[in-house]
Amino acid sequence: QALQKTYQKILREKESALEAKYQAMERAATFEHDRDKVKRQFKIFRETKENEIQDLLRAKRELESKLQRLQAQGIQVFDPGESDSDDNCTDVTASGTQCEYWTGGALGSEPSIGSMIQLQQSFRGPEFAHSSIDVEGPFANVNRDDWDVAVASLLQVTPLFSHSLWSNAVRCYLIYTDETQPEMDLFLKDYSPKLKRMCETMGYFFHAIYFPIDIENQYLAVRKWEIEKSSLVILFIHLTLPSLLLEDCEEAFLKNPEGKPRLIYHRLEDGKVSSDSVQQLIDQVSNLNKTNKAKIIDHSGDPTEGVYKTYIYVEKIIKQDILGFEKTDPEIKDLGSEDSVPEEDDFGDVLWDIHDEQEQMETFQQATNSVHELGFEKYYQRLNDLVAAPAPIPPLLVSGGPGSGKSLLLSKWIQLQQKNSPNTLILSHFVGRPMSTSSESSLIIKRLTLKLMQHSWSVSALTLDPAKLLEEFPRWLEKLSARHQGSIIIIIDSIDQVQQVEKHMKWLIDPLPVNVRVIVSVNVETCPPAWRLWPTLHLDPLNPKDAKSLIIAECHSVDIKLNKEQEKKLERHCRSATTCNALYVTVFGKMISCAGRAGNLDKILHQCFQCQDTISLYRLALRSIQESMANDMDKELMKQILCLINVSHNGVSESELMELYPELSWAVLTSLIHSLHKMCLLTYGCGLLKFQHLQAWETVRLEYMDDPAIVSSCRQKLINYFTMQLRYYEYPYYSSATCFTPVF
């Protein structure tokens, strides 16, 4: 009984302690909520006052400017000796000066960097000066406006990539005749693998693309597209040049405005004279100016030696002209050694991921690639009003349904801002599909932080801890905002595709620095509830008249004209919100224009009228492309390729597909990619094939992957392939290089 009483007593004490614990946790949560609320209110108050201070400083500078103009006219306004102005003793922290953050305080809130400017002597350029007497040192004679323009041009930094590179891949297009088939085969067998290994060692793909001798000219459009994308074209030629290759040769060698590298291997033979067509082409290429970079190799003797000589030149061209490595020794053949792996540019202690940067650049270019305007002028003004609105102001939410044109609107507006407001610094990030690299919150913040560091001319170590990155990003934002003359605009497209976006993007709900504006775009269905209170710009569907005009304009671009009856049916069809969706209208126009060229316009038009949304229209496009494949094997290959791209993390490259499916030819693969690219289904990102829109990814999943066994099989196929690749390449670089993308 005594033990029972003791047990009951201990149990009551335990329950009492647990209750006290829960009460303490509730009080702590309440206190934390109140603290955050007070911190936010204080930041709003602080930024409001900071804005007032900036207005006063601006008025002060304008007044000083007026006084200086009066003095320049000989009017003595005041005696400088009697002035109590403290301008002569006030200084502004220059770029690179360390500012201490306020770590104490009961509220735990960090003050604006603008209120923590230290007073110390240093040379300054006009961008840090409030008046002309603040400018000294080597920048004393620089006009402020000129300085602002120069700094703005430097701040709009975009990584520079060779125009010969197309989406992070060295694309080598091979043209050959029946006479030079042995040389071409030898080049593919012995030297293409070496060039592939060399490019992959440097972080690029290498594709040696060729077509069979196309007697029926069925691949004409695809060949032209490949020549446009090619980094290098090699022509293997002997005595004759078939007429069916003349157009390719003219396209590659004579119509080369970008001056991409070109190479002609011309095999000579004693006692035999080349045909007129061969001699005419060589003469025309020889007479071109040097900017076209056409090299002619005349070789007589053993074809093996000629192909080796070609390989040496190709290796040199890739290293020097395409990849930009000036110092190269063609005789060095140990391209796979660790010493030959070039180090990536580093930024402080952090590797600058040029692949991520190029992916963003390509995404931006693809988003702006719209031939027809969609009537965005009314939205541009709303975005302009946000930039001009007084601070503090929450982020602007750009919302709309899937495919409504949010990415296109933001990218077009970015172009206008860069043109009309060169002093405005724009940091943009376009999020891809869920679970891709571009949707990783820590990588987004890391990239934006690195851009802030880059633009603030500050080199310092950056933590790779995701939690620390999220914590430090607002500090870097405030640091740059205090130094940058002009607005800073952060744009994140499709931010709702980021996993746990509210948790990882908490800085969005805090008051922003005075000159910082944030614009994010979301789908209406997936917008976080807490964000719906923000100022919102909603993209409406196109009006029926504009939708019809865009489809007809797409048809006219390929010389296809609809008759009166077809136009009436089109007008009746484009009346709902889904059939006036921007992406739906775009795909509809592509379908009709392709059908018109193929001669089955009425059939495809009737089928398109049965599709009431973008997904169903995409499914029709998939089936049409699959039906156009030559045989059942090619149709099955198309299905498997799309399924592999669907389950991959960031996409799959063409060379990886060629290795995964040995029975696949370049002619079939490039024709398939060309068709899918025209229908807005596939695109390129850093050398990887990926879906152009989220709806395209969803369409393939619905059309081909309803069976979970198919998904598992595709994933296992990729896992096995990349596991095998990692066994072949034992260098540390390959475990992190973008060219070997993780599956999950």
Query: Does residue 701 surpass a pLDDT of 60?
Result: yes
Among the listed ranges 33-37, 357-361, 519-523, which one has the minimum average pLDDT value? 33-37
501 lies in the same domain as 568:
no
Query: Does residue 467 surpass a pLDDT of 90?
Result: no
Here the CATH number for the domain that contains residue 219 is 3.40.50.360
Instruction: Let me know: does 679 contact 587? Beta carbons within 8 Å.
Output: yes
Report which of 496, 502, 444 is spatially closest to residue 473, judged by C-alpha positions. 444
What is the pLDDT, as a whole number, of residue 77?
A: 52
Q: How confident is the model at residue 112 (pLDDT cuts 50, 70, 90)?
A: very low
Boundary of a domain, candidates 81, 108, 133: 81
Query: Does residue 417 surpass a pLDDT of 80?
Result: yes
Which residue type sits at 726?
L
Query: Does residue 110 surpass a pLDDT of 60?
Result: no
Cα 155 to the chain's mean position, in Å? 18
Establish if 103 belongs to a structural domain. no
488 lies in the same domain as 554:
no
How does DSSP classify residue 294?
A: E
Which residue shows structure tokens 């300085």?
Answer: 147
What is the pLDDT, as a whole number, of residue 111?
A: 38
Establish if 621 belongs to a structural domain. yes
Tens of pLDDT, residue by residue over 606-647, are 999 999 999 999 999 999 999 999 899 999 999 999 999 999
Establish if 706 belongs to a structural domain. yes
Q: How confident is the model at residue 184 (pLDDT cuts 50, 70, 90)?
A: very high
What is the pLDDT, as a whole number, of residue 235?
A: 95
Which residue shows structure tokens 């109590």?
Answer: 84
Averaged confidence pLDDT in the chain: 79
Q: Report how far residue 144's alpha carbon sits from residue 135's, in angstroms, rounded to the nearest whole number.
A: 9
- For Cα atoms 329, 331, 336, give the angle at the middle one, nearest 5 degrees: 85
Higher pLDDT, 51 or 403: 403
Percentage, residues of the chain above pLDDT 70: 79
How does DSSP classify residue 233?
A: E
What is the pLDDT, as a whole number, of residue 143?
A: 52
Query: Does residue 510 surpass a pLDDT of 90?
Result: no
308 lies in the same domain as 362:
no
What is the pLDDT, as a whole number, of residue 580?
A: 93
Among 26-30, 212-216, 436-440, 604-608, the range with the most confident prediction by mean pLDDT is 604-608
Cα 674 to the chain's mean position, in Å? 21
Higher pLDDT, 743 or 106: 743
Higher pLDDT, 120 or 294: 294
Boundary of a domain, candidates 472, 506, 538: 538
The alpha carbon dihedral of 371, 377, 381, 383 has a sign of: negative
- For Cα atoms 443, 449, 452, give the angle at the middle one, nearest 5 degrees: 145
What is the pLDDT, as a whole number, of residue 364?
A: 86
Query: Does residue 728 surpass a pLDDT of 60?
Result: yes
Q: Report how far residue 493's alpha carbon sits from residue 220's, in angstroms, rounded to the nearest whole number.
A: 37
Do the strands 346-347 and 294-300 form a parallel or antiparallel pair, or are they unpaired?
unpaired
Global pTM value = 0.74
Establish if 277 belongs to a structural domain. yes
Higher pLDDT, 246 or 435: 246
How far from 359 is each of 109, 355, 362, 683, CA to CA, in Å?
Answer: 36, 6, 5, 12
Among the listed ranges 127-131, 282-286, 435-439, which one has the minimum average pLDDT value? 127-131
Which residue shows structure tokens 């807490």?
Answer: 530
Long-range contacts of 720-723 (CB under 8 A, 24+ apart): 721/656, 721/659, 721/660
Query: Does residue 139 surpass a pLDDT of 60?
Result: no
382 lies in the same domain as 412:
yes
Boundary of a domain, candidates 538, 572, 606: 538
Domain range for 412 is: 346-538
Q: Report how far residue 407's alpha carbon sits from residue 364's, in angstroms, rounded to the nearest whole number.
A: 8
How far from 134 is each of 56, 80, 527, 623, CA to CA, in Å?
Answer: 17, 15, 48, 69
Q: Report how far residue 313's alpha carbon sits from residue 294's, in angstroms, rounded to the nearest whole number.
A: 12
How far from 27 is each of 23, 34, 36, 668, 727, CA to CA, in Å?
Answer: 6, 10, 14, 67, 56
Query: Does residue 155 surpass a pLDDT of 80?
Result: no
516 lies in the same domain as 549:
no
Higher pLDDT, 475 or 590: 590
Q: How confident is the model at residue 120 (pLDDT cuts 50, 70, 90)?
A: very low
434 lies in the same domain as 300:
no
318 lies in the same domain as 398:
no
Establish if 740 belongs to a structural domain. no
Mean pLDDT of 226-246: 92
Query: Does residue 336 surpass a pLDDT of 50?
Result: no
What is the pLDDT, as a whole number, of residue 165?
A: 59
Establish if 273 belongs to a structural domain. yes
Higher pLDDT, 617 or 336: 617
573 lies in the same domain as 696:
yes
CB atoms within 10 A of CB 502: 13
Here the CATH number for the domain that contains residue 534 is 3.40.50.300
Among the listed ranges 35-39, 139-143, 215-219, 266-270, which one has the minimum average pLDDT value? 139-143
Establish if 411 belongs to a structural domain. yes
What tokens were used for 484? 């940058």
Mean pLDDT of 443-447: 88
550 lies in the same domain as 637:
yes
Instruction: Let me know: does 740 contact 722? Beta carbons within 8 Å.
Output: yes
Query: Does residue 722 surpass a pLDDT of 80?
Result: yes
Q: How confident is the model at residue 75 (pLDDT cuts 50, 70, 90)?
A: low
Mean pLDDT of 668-687: 94
Domain count, the chain: 4
Query: Does residue 158 surpass a pLDDT of 50?
Result: no
What is the pLDDT, as a whole number, of residue 337?
A: 39
564 lies in the same domain as 613:
yes
Establish if 128 belongs to a structural domain. no
What tokens were used for 491? 């744009």
Higher pLDDT, 557 or 106: 557
Q: How confident is the model at residue 507 (pLDDT cuts 50, 70, 90)?
A: confident
548 lies in the same domain as 530:
no
Higher pLDDT, 205 or 346: 205
600 lies in the same domain as 685:
yes
Instruction: Let me know: does 249 contact 235? Beta carbons within 8 Å.
Output: yes
Q: How confident is the model at residue 51 (pLDDT cuts 50, 70, 90)?
A: confident
